[in-house]
Amino acid sequence: MQRSLVSAIIASHTTEPAREGEICKVRVDFAFANDITAAPAVAAFGEMGADRVFAPERCAVLPDHFTPNKDIASAEQTKKGRVFALAQGIRYWEVGRVGVEHAFLPEQGLILPGDIIIGADSHTCTGGALGALASGVGSSDLAAVWALGETWMKVPQTVRVDFTGGRPGWITGKDMILALLGRIGVQGARYMALEFGGDTLTELPMDDRFTIANMAVECGAKTGLFVPDETTLRYARSRAARPFTPVYPDADAVYARKEVFDVASMEPMVAAPHSPDNVKTARECDGTPIDQVFIGSCTNGRLSDIEHAAKILEGRNVAPNVRCIVIPASYEVYNAALEKGYIATFAKAGAVVCTPTCGPCLGGHMGILAKGERCVSTSNRNFVGRMGHPGSEVYLASPFVAAASAITGRITDPRDVADPAFFAAFTGGNRE
């Protein structure tokens, strides 16, 4: 059939031919909203005349953007989702037990290979790291999925992206996706799927795959998917909350085009203001003074991300005029970081560690920027005003770059604060 991975998944969820460019009605495996998008979804659900969700165990509301509630408005907003979730019997996790949705749901085994996942958030595509078709929609569309358990979906064309060569320890998933963005731009895959492959991925840990899939939407893509391999299946089997069936592209799959990257020659990358595709090497940005570092988000708030930052900061101090904010993406990550001593490392270095939340990523709370301030952020967007004042600037980078920059007070290539032997531990499959 010459199907790409995304076409094959759609075909497995519909009775229709599922040819590229056609609109199909597909079954949905899991559907969720957050504390921002749940309230309008709940309102739309009622306006549709819907009474019960299609399957409570396959629906969820997660309070993550403005929680713990930052003000009265966010408290009222969050309450609407909570009340609906409790009334419907759908999955809901309270503060202290939840996390940033795109990190938390895979941890819970609720996003699995071969799934179709719908979330009322643009970075739902993160789930594609597990070989799922995960895509963001508006709150009204999400409400319809909650009611019906299905949705309409146009079968997209696919861009195949292959990463090849041995990966140096200082190169992470963040550098790899920024390299792609620098080449194809923010509209380079508009309403297409990105299918990731190549020999580099055989030893690429799940955390890096989640980072890459997370930023597929920054390329304009509907979704970004990794072809399931043993790393995928090992992660999924250890966490799965329900049975799953992996789906694979055909051996003769046809792609709209192919992009190939030599990871062995990659440099640590930075996306300069005000677009994720304004990509430069860290050394090209060297010397740019900063006011804040943010390490966290659904892009880079997982345990390996926290580890990278902590190892760079160990025995060192955050620059006197820099705020360094670290936010683990979930309580699983937070507790693991606590057990491993990373939280203590941050505290000793002069950084602050906050409860799992999106917080500063969207300019919500816990790290708002003032006019003229610059931040190195491990998040996914650096649009004008994204993290605060329209006159502020955000530079996107890996936790290695972010932590190195926190030490020097300026954007810094991590190789300028740590020698090659340091990075050897993070090469290939050694990084978890």
Whole-number Cα distances in Å, 178 to 4, 261, 286, 339, 397: 23, 12, 17, 31, 8
The DSSP output letter for 364 is -
Helix (H, G, I), strand (E, B) or coil at 132: coil
Q: What is the pLDDT of residue 427?
A: 75
Q: What is the pLDDT of residue 431?
A: 44
Q: What is the pLDDT of residue 429?
A: 46
Helix 303-313 to helix 342-349 angle, to the nearest 10 degrees?
40
User: Rounded to an integer, what distance in angstroms lies between the CA atom of residue 55 and that of residue 108?
Assistant: 17
User: Rounded to an integer, what distance in angstroms lies between the CA atom of residue 33 and that of residue 192?
Assistant: 23
Helix (H, G, I), strand (E, B) or coil at 167: coil
Enumerate domains of the chain plus CATH numbers: 5-261 (3.30.499.10), 269-430 (3.30.499.10)
Q: What is the pLDDT of residue 430?
A: 43
Cite the DSSP H helix spans in 243-378: 297-300, 303-313, 331-339, 342-349
Q: What is the pLDDT of residue 432?
A: 42
Mean pLDDT, each 10-residue run in order, the chain (432 residues): 95 95 97 97 97 98 94 95 97 95 98 98 98 98 98 97 96 98 97 96 96 98 97 97 97 96 97 97 97 98 97 97 98 97 98 96 94 98 96 98 98 94 76 43
